[in-house]
Amino acid sequence: MNSSEIKLVLQKEINAPVETVFDAWTKPELIRQWFAPGSVMRVENAEVDKQVGGNYLIHMHDPEEKSDHIVSGTYEEIVENEKLVFNWKWKDGVDRTQVTVEFSAVDSDKTTVTLTHKGFSQQEFADKHNQGWNGCLANLEKFSIELA
């Protein structure tokens, strides 16, 4: 395989100062309040050791399906209010992928967040299948996925 790889890139503009947005990613008491997808799931526990080489753990719980989703990893790079790089591994998964979150102040009250997720392999795909994650993927027609 050559060095190029498949990655997922998403961007979001948020009406808040960059410090506030950075805090939301790095303070456990704040992570607890938003880091669960959908309206049903909730964060049971969030632990953060905010230093390079330090670990984080986020435990999400789905009360309807009575299922637990635990993700954890290690911080690889931390630049205050600018950049976070951490690896990402689901408890039941095999792969360790990598997430980069970049924070850019548009002005004093507006921040652009750019999230890059990479390092996927075929195994990760197989895992997602096993976890039954992809319930609603049948009608996929468009990708806004960057193949870089």
Contacts with another protein, residue ranges (CB under 8 A): 1-2, 4-6, 8, 10, 12, 14-17, 20-21, 24-25, 30, 33-38, 113, 115, 117, 120-122, 124-126, 128-129, 133-134, 136-137, 140-141, 143-145, 147
Nearer to another protein, 21 or 48 (CB): 21
Contact 83, 101 (CB under 8 A): yes
Contact 117, 80 (CB under 8 A): no
Nearer to another protein, 10 or 52 (CB): 10
Q: How far is the CB of 54 from another protein (least distance, A)?
A: 21
Q: How far is the CB of 56 from another protein (least distance, A)?
A: 15
Nearer to another protein, 53 or 81 (CB): 81
Nearest to 21 by CA among 8, 38, 9, 34: 34
Q: How far is the CB of 132 from another protein (least distance, A)?
A: 11
Q: How far is the CB of 91 from another protein (least distance, A)?
A: 16
At residue 122, φ and ψ (nearest 5 deg) are: -60, -35
How far does Cα 136 stand from its chain's mean position? 20
Exposure string of 83-101, with b = 16+ CB inside 10 Å and e = fewer, is ebbbbbbbeebebebbbbb
Nearer to another protein, 23 or 76 (CB): 23
